[in-house]
Chains A and B, each alone.
Chain A
């Protein structure tokens, strides 16, 4: 062993023999609890929303540039691909928002016990679903 961190992995068993400490199972081994899935989804939606800012930038630049540029941007957003991206964006935004609120509540030191953990986790999922559908029902009705 060349790395000092490796040295921490060496221990003696009850017979006094030097052994390598066992590792805890990795991600693939665990049965995924809701919080594990939501944790990674929070990061994935965060990065996705970052990519989505490109669409916001295009829309604002087009509006600032000319009628023709704005028409092109509006055409893309109204196309099947544009609407799909917009749907993904709204889902990611609502998820990241509700999940973010869950994080803020944790930051206040509340909701760390396991039953609450699961309840707030599912609440995030349900709130995201309801909000996304609701916004699209209203949006398409107005449009």
Chain B
């Protein structure tokens, strides 16, 4: 920047900030991110155990395993927690790094729709395998 710095506008910081404040929903997002993260701790460890347990297993064995109530419910819980956590995480990353407003809006919509769709596909697949 050339020359002596100077300010040639009168608008106050408060005037600029008005209407751009908190949406009053930040803590719900923060809490949900932690809650789903906490739920994913045991769920993902159980999932790793299950993947090893099912390594190389034929389809019939996988179907038999998933038709039992506990593995099925844990899979469904894992899917819900994973995709909810993913959606919130992607949202946070996009809000932090994408500053171009139209691109941000598109990215946020995709970060919401993508996990929703994938999650539903996984959810229905587990039900179809199990029943």
- Residues of chain A whose beta carbon lies under 8 Å from any beta carbon of chain B: 1-4, 6-10, 17-20, 43, 46-47, 49-50, 53-54, 56-57, 60-61, 63-64, 67, 70-71, 74, 78, 90, 93, 97, 100-101, 103-104, 107, 135, 138-139, 142-143
Contact = CB atoms under 8 A, between A and B. Distances in A.
B52 A142 contact: yes
Classify the secondary structure of A's interface with B.
helix
A117 to B, nearest CB: 20
6 contacts: A6-B7, A10-B6, A64-B129, A93-B44, A100-B37, A143-B52
Interface string B96-131: 000000000000000000010010011011101100
Contacts of A3: 9
Interface of B: 1, 4-9, 11-13, 16, 34, 37-38, 40-41, 44-45, 48, 51-53, 55-56, 59, 62-63, 66, 82-83, 86, 89-90, 93, 115, 118, 121-122, 124-126, 128-129
Contacts of A4: 9, 11-13, 16
Given A2-B9, A64-B125, A53 B37 contact: no
